Amino acid sequence: MQHLHHLYIDGRWVSPETPRLVDLINPATEAVFATFAPSDVGDVNRAVAAARQAFGAYAQTTRRERLDLLRAIVDCYRRRTDDLVEAVLLEMGAPLILARERQVAAGLIHLQQSIKALETYQFDIVLGSTLITREPIGVCGLITPWNWPLLQIACKVGPALAAGCTMILKPSEVAPASASIFAEILHEAGVPPGVFNLIQGDGPTVGQALVSHPDVDMVSFTGSTHTGIVVAKAAADTLKRVHQELGGKSPNILLDDASFATAVRHGAYACFANSGQSCNAPTRLLVPAHRQPEAAAIAKSIAEELVVGEPRSLLTTLGPVANKAQFARVQSLIASGLQEGATLVTGGLGRPTRLERGYYVRPTVFMDVHNQMTIAREEIFGPVLSILPYESEDEAVGIANDTRFGLSSYVTSADLERAQQIARRLRAGMVHLNGVPSDPAAPFGGYKQSGNGRERGVFGLEEFLELKSIFGYNQI
């Protein structure tokens, strides 16, 4: 974290035009652990100019040159694993095992996926006498969130580099430390000056300037649906491409033949993982009405098994939520569940016992939730599970689809064909059958207000490419 007081522009670490420092708060202790220097509009302009200047040469690099660069980045990333783990632990409060085995590991996995996609991707196809070619879209503004900081950075920077684009990365101001180390990795790996640039700061100032900049050709944004709408409006005046991966309120349908001992346990863990701060978390558990008490008892046992506490302890399975504002939001939504008549199974308001400081949330389970309650409509982004009863498969599908979101969904049945049929009826970009995890090579993204476009693998690479038709390319 040696460069938190600098920006990375045009291959150099530079000071912001308007020097000032902002405290970084460790969510586990509420204490300041570092300071960082945010950018201003002038810094955005410098970074965009550097990326624009570098684009012509980098766009002409060969597949082999880009593969060599990405492999060098992977090697450097591996060497900096311990530093990245420490950064994620401090800025997110992620438990040590989660930080190492999932948070930091996810960034590496998706850098490797960019390499795999680039190795075999067919940029040119011929249709008769016409060449259809895919070319880098240009200068890209990449805006990433705090909940999975390295995964999201890798899912944007990796394919952008593979495509031949230049870029400006603006990570969340809540999680700038891991992004700063990531920039150090790219510098050490030999990314040419101007190809990758790092700015820091908030959305209303720095993000707005980046998204609306006329020399930015594409914006790739991951974050809340509310902010995604703001981003789309800011980008509209210049008609740039806008790729967005936004919020979710994912249903988890357990059919009546499912093994609840396994399925509820799996679903509850998936909901609570990363302190509930995952856009694709299965936060709405849909169960046959007559089996709701059974599901609630299993979910209660899982919530009460979790060890909430100090992230450095190897016994800890759940850390705090990432910041004070998020803690307040989660508390408010738990309160709404109580006020609107949901039955509290376990958890509830306030911190867990014996934790007097830190943004820790009690793992919470509600039952008797109906789909018009706030806790069933809003993305909570905390360790809160809502159990919704249903009477028929058609009703379950209706409840699942009755949401403005459409990111992910889950179906469990002893009959795979039955689960497959339900999956085809769900209005979501992703469906997990019988607990199967995500495939890192498969497209990640959603329907409706969960965004547009896809990330990961070949599908993520194609988001950074333009299509060109060259007529008469082959002439006899």
> Which tens digits make up the pLDDT trace of 147-201?
999 999 999 999 999 999 999 999 999 999 999 999 999 999 999 999 999 999 9
Per cent of the chain over pLDDT 70 is: 100
**Position 249 confidence tier, pLDDT thresholds 50, 70, 90:** very high
Establish if 337 belongs to a structural domain: yes
Say how many domains are in the chain: 2
Domain-embedded: residue 1: no
Measuring CA to CA, which residue among 187, 230, 180 is closest to residue 209?
230
Residue 441 resides in a domain: no
Determine, yes or no, domain membership for 84.
Answer: yes
Tens-digit pLDDT profile for residues 42-67 = 999 999 999 999 999 999 999 999 99
Q: To 10 degrees, what angle do helices 105-120 and 149-163 make?
A: 20
- The total number of residues shown for the chain amounts to 476
- Same domain for 175 and 113? yes
Please report the pLDDT score of residue 21 as a whole number: 95
| pLDDT (tens digit per residue) in 203-224 | 999 999 999 999 999 999 999 9
Alpha-carbon gap, residue 314 to 429, rounded angstroms: 35
Tell me the pairing of strands 7-9 and 343-346: unpaired
217 and 257, same domain (yes or no): no
Say yes or no: 261 and 176 in one domain: no
Is residue 300 classed as helix, strand or coil in its secondary structure?
helix
| Span 214-240, average pLDDT | 96
Alpha-carbon distance of 311 to 316, in angstroms, equals 6
The span from the CA of 152 to the CA of 88, in Å, is 13
Question: Does pLDDT of 315 surpass 90?
Answer: yes
165 shares a domain with 152:
yes
279 tagged catalytic: yes
Q: What is the pLDDT of residues 64-80, one digit of tens each?
A: 999 999 999 999 999 99
The span from the CA of 132 to the CA of 30, in Å, is: 55
Q: Would you state the pLDDT for residue 2? A: 81
In this structure, are 24 and 133 located in the same domain? yes
pLDDT tens digits, 108-126: 999 999 999 999 999 999 9
Residue 135 falls within a domain, yes or no?
yes
Q: How far apart are CA 299 and CA 294, in angstroms?
A: 9
Q: 103-107 long-range CB contacts below 8 Å, 24 or more apart?
A: 103/148, 103/149, 103/150, 103/151, 103/274, 104/150, 106/148, 106/150, 106/151, 106/154, 107/77, 107/150, 107/151, 107/153, 107/154, 107/182
Determine how many CB atoms are found less than 10 A away from the CB of residue 110.
26
Residues 98 and 165 in one domain: yes
In this structure, is residue 105 part of a structural domain?
Answer: yes
The answer to whether residues 281 and 410 belong to one domain is yes
pLDDT for residue 16 is more than 70: yes
Tell me the C-alpha distance between 127 and 470, whole Å: 10
The answer to whether residues 273 and 421 belong to one domain is: yes
| Whether the predicted pLDDT of 476 surpasses 70 | no
* Cβ pair 466, 136 in contact under 8 A: yes
Res 127 pLDDT > 70? yes
For Cα atoms 320, 322, 325, give the angle at the middle one, nearest 5 degrees: 110
Residues 321 and 402 grouped into a single domain: yes
* Strands laid side by side in the 430-433 sheet: 343-346, 364-367, 384-390, 284-288, 251-254, 408-412, 430-433
pLDDT of residue 475: 84
Long-range (24+ apart) CB contacts under 8 A made by 13-19 are: 14/46, 16/40, 16/43, 17/42, 17/43, 17/46, 18/42
Burial class for 436, CB neighbours closer than 10 Å (0-12, 13-18, 19+): exposed
**Strands of 218-222's sheet, edge to edge?**
12-14, 7-9, 196-198, 166-170, 139-143, 218-222, 241-245, 451-452
Q: Are residues 225 and 293 in the same domain?
A: no
* Cα gap 360→303, rounded to integer Å: 14
Rounded mean pLDDT of the chain? Answer: 97
Examine the pLDDT at 1 and tell me if it is beyond 80. Answer: no
- Give 302's contacts (C-beta < 8 A, 6+ positions apart): 264, 265, 268, 269, 272
Confidence band of 470 (pLDDT split at 50, 70, 90): very high
Annotated active-site residue in 140, 165, 271, 279? 279
* CA angle (41, 47, 48) in 5-degree steps: 90
Q: Where are the alpha helices (DSSP H) in 63-175?
A: 63-79, 81-92, 96-98, 105-120, 149-163
Whether residue 407 lies inside any domain: the answer is yes
Residues 211 and 286 both lie in one domain: no
CATH code, domain carrying 380: 3.40.309.10
Which CATH number belongs to the domain containing residue 119 in this structure? 3.40.605.10
Of 86, 91, 173, 245, which is the active-site residue?
245
**What pLDDT, on a 0 to 100 scale, did the predictor assign at position 306?**
97
Are residues 290 and 207 part of one domain? no
**Which structural domain, as residue segments, surrounds residue 88?**
7-247+449-470
140 is catalytic: no
| Residue 432 resides in a domain | no
